[in-house]
Amino acid sequence: MFWPSVAIIGVFVIWAMVGGEGTADNLLSFRVEVVDNLSWYYVPLVSFFVLYALFMGFSKYGNIKLGKDDQKPDFSLGSWLSMLFAAGMGIGLVFWGVAEPLSFYMGPKPGVGESEAERAEFAMSQTFLHWGFHPWAIYIVVGLAIAYAVHRKGRPVSIRYALEPLLGDRVRGRVGDAIDVIAVVGTVFGVATSLGFGVQQIGAGLDHLGIITDPSAGVLSIIVIIITIIATLSVVSGLDKGVKYLSNVNAVLAAGILLFILIAGATTVLLTDFFQNIGVYLQNFAALSLDTGSWHGEDGTGWVGGWTIFYWGWWMSWAPFVGIFIARISRGRTVREFVIGALVVPTMLSFFWFSVVGGSGIREEQATGNMTGEDGSVDSTAALFALLDSLPGATIVIGLAILLIVFFFVTSSDSASYVVDMLASGGDPNPPTWSRVFWAAVEGLVAVALLLAGAGHGLTILQNVAVVIALPFSFIMIAMCIATLKSLRDEHLAVKEAKAEEAEEALIESAVAAMTEAQENGELDSVTSGTGSGSGAAGAGDKADKDAPGDDLLDTSAKA
């Protein structure tokens, strides 16, 4: 898979750099036609993934361990949750924490009421939809399938083997190669575009502090190179050191900034909002999950396509990377632990983050109007810093926020490099160091090349390509659901039959032991003697008959 993946990535990068704005526009039109107009497919599919994840976690299959029966978890609960959070959502929460709720508040979906309260409730519940159970269910579909195949069945770390229950030996051929190449390309594109867009947020933060004024593409490229170097050092050190330690640092920094915003801001109001936001979200969960905007015409379907459907495609494009990574770090967990850990815990943390950070942004906009432009537009890269600037100690906190963004990008890059390397190395869980360095460098260089392509068109192209790639991968995910359910069902039946056989054998052994003990105590002999005395006293002739060959065997059989 190594060379085909490298070739495809190279061709797309050159195409993006040469094509510029025209290519970006054409690809955007194609994405709108292919992806955004498929709300009838994506909306029920992702909702099904949520039900599937819940079923797997709370069904009779929940006790099956992702590993040997006596396998202990590789990581402590705290480190495991930190790594889950950092790889799956961390950088997105920092980037969109203020910008997305504020965008929905200023430009709600058609049909939402015009009052501030209605727009605020909609903004938070819609954000919860995009960052809550649904994306993590997408990750769980892939992660659970791979974790079972790798840790329970001993297969290489590769997406293809998650489909082995359906495809059989064909997963070792060209079909399996194509599946893994799609995963490699999608992962590199997703991480590269996130690096590019995220470094623009870092540039906005440095600009806000006055360190760099209006950073150019060249300056942003230097920042990407620095992040890539740090990520390379981290990925070389392995999961037990670099990735785990940086994830823990991320968790501490993020918690510190979150608590600062909560305490320095309207604490009571934000905590009250948190529970109200959850209530509104749960109350409208089904409606939000299945909303296509169809009753509001092209404006409604266009809004849903540009936000919700784009997000579903984007999360699917990240699913190979995040799914493999969370599978790799989850050895020793049960299916139930995996689902709860990857679905409920990160979702609740995301809800609290958006309620505090995003809610603060909306409250600040309501009070001062300083969070948006004169035309009501929201600057996604600068929204977080605009919020922090309204709080005491802004300079220090903005500096810490920039550091948090850098660390989140490092953990995303090195974990993605690790995953891509495993796939390109044929599923080797400990791929060679040189290839880890190679893939970390590729992700950084792709981001730099597209930044230098000008006007951000290159990044937009790859972002749209990643979402389009998610469409064929969605079919693979459906197959994963079927394959995993089949595997767990077969194992559950096999365990059930084995337990029944063990119970039967135990019953027989218990009966034999009881009879043996009774015979040793003379209880069975007494019963036999009592039966014999009923026919009269035994004479010499009887004794002779009893001593006849074979009578002992018959007598013992009768006792038995």
Could you give the angle at which helices 174-209 and 217-237 cross, rounded to 10 degrees? Answer: 120
Give the model's pLDDT for residue 543: 44
From the list 531, 537, 479, 503, the residue with the least C-alpha distance to 52 is 479
Give the model's pLDDT for residue 340: 93
Q: What is the model's pTM?
A: 0.85
Three-state DSSP string of 354-402: HHHHHHHHHHHHHHHCCCCCCCCCCCCCCHHHHHHHCCCCHHHHHHHHH
Give the model's pLDDT for residue 286: 96
Give the model's pLDDT for residue 431: 82
Long-range contacts made by residues 555-558, C-beta under 8 angstroms, separation at least 24?
Answer: 555/528, 558/528
- DSSP states of 137-178 as a string? HHHHHHHHHHHIIIIIT---S-SGGGGHHHHGGGGGSHHHHH
Give the model's pLDDT for residue 445: 85
Give the model's pLDDT for residue 457: 67
Give the model's pLDDT for residue 117: 94
Give the model's pLDDT for residue 5: 87
Q: Is 332 helix (H, G, I), strand (E, B) or coil?
A: coil
Residues of the chain short of pLDDT 50, as ranges, are 531-560
Contact 358, 127 (CB under 8 A): yes
**With DSSP H G I counted as helix, E B as strand and the rest as coil, what are the percentages for the chain, rounded to 5?**
80, 0, 20
- How many angstroms separate the Cα of 116 from the Cα of each of 126, 129, 447? 15, 20, 39
418-473 residue pLDDT tens: 888 888 887 887 788 888 888 888 888 888 887 776 555 666 776 777 778 788 88
Q: How far apart are CA 379 and CA 370, in angstroms?
A: 12
Q: How far apart are CA 408 and CA 247, in angstroms?
A: 8
Extract the tokens encoding 150.
């790798």
User: How many CB atoms neighbour CB 68 within 10 A?
Assistant: 12
Give the model's pLDDT for residue 513: 84
Give the model's pLDDT for residue 524: 61
